[in-house]
């Protein structure tokens, strides 16, 4: 009888503690949802410029921001694919209260032409509220075998293109004392992998540039967000440049099993409305690699050596 009474008291205590913890958690979740909804409402009528918008993550980002009421400006090299994305946006979200998407074909490697593209966009929209630097190209090849012009091309698109476009947009944001610049980097900008040297270097440079920029434009009410996703199921590996500069032409297994672009786009949209400075979107293994690189670098270096040797055997 005594044991039953103690058991009852213990269960009652556990129940009370659970209730005491659950109620604040529910209140927190509800308040967070309300605040998030209010922040999403703030996206209405915002002008969002997205590079690499002709496919993959860029296309998913176009859908994510368009359905929130933004006027999206679709930028990439392939006009025909941009037309397709524009048509899909209008058909998929016919009731969204916003202006039709704008198409602006551009090549990020032609950095001298980028200011002209920004002027053209501003002449149509009058402002650029959010710039999402998403366009880029990946790399497959060893350091020794990769031709220097491949390193230059990847750095030109991934880093200098994003930097030049950002610099062209910033004056209007500073003038308006409002704006948000998003850089889609990569986990590989935080932890470098063998046979990805050019890509990792370009994304690592983007990380450093973003940190400097964030500090400089804070007083003008311009936000900077760096997004570091792991593998995303896109054609990035297929279009990656090999050591000779030719397309890789293969869907890597890790890329094939990566996050859906729509999921990553949703996370980026949430990061923008919450004005987060940086987000990392990845599974447990890359998080462990980031931890090791920061706190146990010798272990990380050893693991990368083994990975490189394994790759050389294949």
Known catalytic residues are 199
Nearest to 59 by CA among 43, 44, 78, 46: 78
CB distance 191 to 289 below 8 Å: yes
The number of helices, as runs of H, and strands, as runs of E, in the chain is 12, 9
User: Residue 121 corresponds to which tokens in the numbers above?
Assistant: 């966009």
Beta bridge mates, 222? 179
3-state secondary structure of 194: coil
Strand partners, 47: 71
Classify residue 103 by its DSSP letter: E
Structure tokens of 18?
Answer: 């659970």
* Helix/strand/coil for 77: coil
248 within 8 A of 242, measured Cβ to Cβ: yes
CA dihedral 217, 210, 115, 48 (to 10 degrees): -80
Residues forming a β-bridge with 73: 49, 102
């Amino acid at each position: 009888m005594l044991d039953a009474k103690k058991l009852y008291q213990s269960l009652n205590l556990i129940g009370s503690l659970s209730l005491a913890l659950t109620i604040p958690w529910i209140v927190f979740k509800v308040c967070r949802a309300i605040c998030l909804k209010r922040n999403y409402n703030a996206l209405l009528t915002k002008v969002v410029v997205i590079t690499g918008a002709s496919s993959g993550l860029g296309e998913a980002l176009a859908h994510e921001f368009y359905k929130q009421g933004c006027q999206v400006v679709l930028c990439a090299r392939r006009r025909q694919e941009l037309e397709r994305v524009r048509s899909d946006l209008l058909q998929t979200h016919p009731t969204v209260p916003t202006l039709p998407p704008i198409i602006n074909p551009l090549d990020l490697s032609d950095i001298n032409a980028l200011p002209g593209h920004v002027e053209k966009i501003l002449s149509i929209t009058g402002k650029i509220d959010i710039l999402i630097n998403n366009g880029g190209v990946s790399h497959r090849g060893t350091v020794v075998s990769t031709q220097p012009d491949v390193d230059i091309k990847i750095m030109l698109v991934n880093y200098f293109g994003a930097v030049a476009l950002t610099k062209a947009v910033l004056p209007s944001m500073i003038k308006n004392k409002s704006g948000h610049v998003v850089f889609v980097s990569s986990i590989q900008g935080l932890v470098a992998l063998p046979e990805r040297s050019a890509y990792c270097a370009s994304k690592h440079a983007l990380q450093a540039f973003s940190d400097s920029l964030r500090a400089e434009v804070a007083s003008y009410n311009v936000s900077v967000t760096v997004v570091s996703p792991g593998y995303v199921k896109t054609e990035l590996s297929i279009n990656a440049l090999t050591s000779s500069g030719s397309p890789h032409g293969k869907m890597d297994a890790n890329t094939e099993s990566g996050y859906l672009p729509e999921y990553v786009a949703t996370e980026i949209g949430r990061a923008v409305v919450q004005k987060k400075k940086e987000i990392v979107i990845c599974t447990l293994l890359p998080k462990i690699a980031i931890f090791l690189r920061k706190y146990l670098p010798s272990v990380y270096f050893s693991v990368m050596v083994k990975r490189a040797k394994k790759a050389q055997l294949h």
